[in-house]
Structure 1
Amino acid sequence: MKAENFSLQAYFSRIDFQGSISPDFLTLKAMMRCQLLRVPFENIDVQAGKVVSLVPEEIYSKIVERNRGGYCYEVNGVFAMALDALGISYHFVAARPMTYPVRRPKTHMAIVATIADEQWLCDLGFGSYGIREPINLKWLDRDIRQDFDTFTLSLSPEGEYLLQSSGNGVWRNLYEFNLCRQEWVDFEPANYLNSTHPDSIFVQSLIVVLQTPGGKLVLNGDCFKSVTQELAEEVTLSREEVSAILEEKFFLRHQP
């Protein structure tokens, strides 16, 4: 994944990455966490009636130069640009979201990075349910603790991985995927569906999520939540308050 205007130094500045720079797991882990803490998951463009652009240069400009966020193709896309610049091998995978009441197509995009023959699931674009660090694809059928969240990964005989998370003692299916390599262009139909279809959650409501060191901030429509391990606070906002929260908490300007 390349963009003609991509600058690794500018990307690191955008995500406030200050660690060592090597094509290794420690860099991968630190870079993923830094981006999650600085670049929000958001669908403001879709709410403005736009089809999200998958042109790499436009994704880079939006996130790095204009201090915006994006949804899965965008935030994982710019992360892939950084992996490419670092020389870390990776490929895209198509995932089936399983947080809906009915079976859905594989419209989600994630990344599998390979370092020293170990494969790591990286995903910065699954909103409030997402992982916060890479998960080794060999870590099967075990609790994977990441800060205040617990995940598990299983593998079916057919080669489908299932990612789940635990909340209030109940395991929740997040998505399933296999290791079939996807090209960037393969996500164009899914992106168009997510940007335009009336059943798309991104069309139905404003969604903004930003991970924090101790929790996460979530804006869904006019409902704002601040979540930590100890406490979840929720408040309903006016239209003016939504714009203020976007700027004050997510560092975004609302563009209706």
Structure 2
Amino acid sequence: MNSEEVEAYLARIGAEYPAWPTVDVLRDLHLRHLRTVPFENLSIHLGEEIALEEKRLVDKVVGARRGGFCYELNGVFGALLTALGFDVAYLAARVYGKEGRLGNPYDHLALRVRTVDGGAWLADVGFGAHSHLPLEFEERGEQVDPGGVFRIVEAGTGSGAPGVRGGGPDFGDLDVFRDGQPEYRLEMRPRGLEEFAIGAWWHSTSPQSHFRRSLVCSRLTEDGGRITLSGRNLTVTAVGGGREVSELGTDEEVLAVYRERFGIELDRVPVVRKG
């Protein structure tokens, strides 16, 4: 990522160029990203190719002011952090589903980030509703965040962990919990961004993928709530948990919400693709 792309990316999320890659800077960039860059799977239903190449991710998220799902969002955010001097590793994860079942390898992409003032941090701007701020990677106790109470523990040892289907943990794997429920299992071996292409392909093409079966566009709001557009259903969730749900009637209304609430300009309404 060149200097012009970095400046444009920072402008996209409303941040200034930092002097040093510190934890405070990481926290600020992480929160700004969640508030401005939507978690969305619209490309799948618009027939757009999902390419895990740094230049194309920058063109999409920065140039076209779009969002993406985990591979795209954490992929491009990791590239920005690297350009700013952070030590970044791409980590593969398997997401917990129903009854404690783990998803496929490369099911999710998260970041381990080291800062100049010490410590390693779990940064994740591509999981939808997750922590608002990076989590301390080596901390094994509860970590209170505006998005919930989180724990990072050795795989299979977390309090209240369900029985895992599909094999036991490999040595060194970590389970990430939110409010007592497991979210995903992290592998510790750093990966290249290109290694996640198989996961992106599966989630964008398989009939079993929830990304293929539904539409989502969601971001954190300034007050810590969340706004989500799923098809024609608009949901605004307040900090205290209150929810307002409304159904949009026309294509014009849908396109206006994408434009005004998410900053996404579309020339047609995305529709879940069949088959």
Partner deviation per Cα, 1:166-204 (whole Å, 9 max, x = no partner): 2xxxx3221110211111121011110011111111111
Which residues of 2 match residues 176-255 of structure 1 at below 5 A? 176-214=185-223, 215-230=225-240, 231-240=242-251, 241-254=253-266, 255=268
The Cα shift of 1:252 comes to 1.2
| Unaligned residue ranges in structure 1 (runs of 5+) | none
Gaps of 5+ in 2: 158-170, 271-275
What is the CA distance between 1:4 and its match in structure 2? Answer: 5.8
Deviations 1:33-71 (A, max 9, x none): 111111111111111133311121111011111111111
**CA apart distance, 1:85:** 1.1
CA contact (8 A) 1:50 1:195 kept: no
Secondary structure of 1:152's aligned partner: strand
Deviation, structure 1 residue 89: 0.5
The aligned counterpart of 1:125 is 126
How many Å separate the matches in 2 of 1:204 and 1:65?
28
Q: Distance in 2 between matches of 1:172 and 1:220?
A: 24
Distance in 2 separating the partners of 1:159 and 1:232:
39
Match in the other structure for 2:273: none
Q: How far apart in 2 are the matches of 1:245 and 1:201?
A: 23
In the superposition, relative to structure 1, how do residues 152 and 131 fare at CA in structure 2: closer, same or farther (>3 Å)? same
Written as runs of structure 1 = structure 2, the 5 A alignment for 1:32-111 is: 32-100=30-98, 102-106=101-105, 107-111=107-111
Matched with 2:136 is 136
1:114 aligns with 2:126: no
TM-score normalised over the length of structure 1: 0.89
Question: Which of structures 1 and 2 has the bigger CA Rg?
Answer: 2
Q: Which residue of 2 aligns with 1:149?
A: 148
Change (3 A) 1:191 1:239: farther
Partner deviation per Cα, 1:103-161 (whole Å, 9 max, x = no partner): 3113100000112451100000001x22211111122131x222252222222373221
**TM-score scaled by length of structure 2:** 0.83
Higher strand proportion, which one? 1
Deviation at 1:6, TM superposition (A): 5.9
State whether structure 2 residue 172 is matched by structure 1 residue 159.
Answer: yes
Q: Deviations over 1:12-52 (max 9, x none)?
A: 10000137431111111111111111111111111113331
Residues in 1 aligned to 2:18 and 2:3: alpha-carbon distance in whole angstroms: 23
Q: How many residues align?
A: 248
3-state SS of 1:164 partner: strand
